[in-house]
Amino acid sequence: MKIIQTSIPEVIVFIPPVFTDSRGYFLETYQQQKYAEAGIPKPFVQDNQSYSTKNVLRGLHFQLRHPQGKLVRVTQGSVFDVAIDVRKSSPTFGKWHGEIISAENKKQMYVPENFAHGFCVLSDSAEFLYKCTDFYTPGDEVGLIWNDPQLGIEWPIDEPILSDKDAVLPSWADVLDLLPMG
């Protein structure tokens, strides 16, 4: 497995080996021991899947009291995936990393606990899968508006399709007092 360290040390990109022959391909999408050795500290307790059409942007979300680490991948289509460090005590506080993840490139990205997460769909549609280190807890979710100039995320789309909830998320400045220390 190829492991790519990003500018934020805890955000890790994985490219699993793909074994191809005349019948198609095989790849191991998760093996606990290998991923733990690569830097994913906790087991996963929940798997999620979403389907979205072109220019849909989901996020930027995180949970405060029940933070979730996420191992994300795409099984159909292509997305631009973003992780933002929201830990006040971190040297990379407020920094983001973006990665194109697609069914074709088979990349996976680990979004650590206490990171905001979101993605936008680049292809006509995309199936997005992710494993979580904690359960979704209604009422614990916080979000950040996708286009906050203080974050400066370089999204590859200009006019995303947003849910009603995501369209009115607060700015970075408005959530600073809520953010975790570590």
Measured CA to CA, the distance from residue 69 to residue 75 in angstroms comes to 20
According to DSSP, residue 86 is labeled -
137: left (phi over 0), alpha (psi -120 to 50) or beta: beta
Residue carrying structure tokens 């009291």: 65
Q: What is the C-alpha radius of gyration for the chain, rounded to an integer number of angstroms?
A: 16
Residues labelled as active-site residues: 61, 130
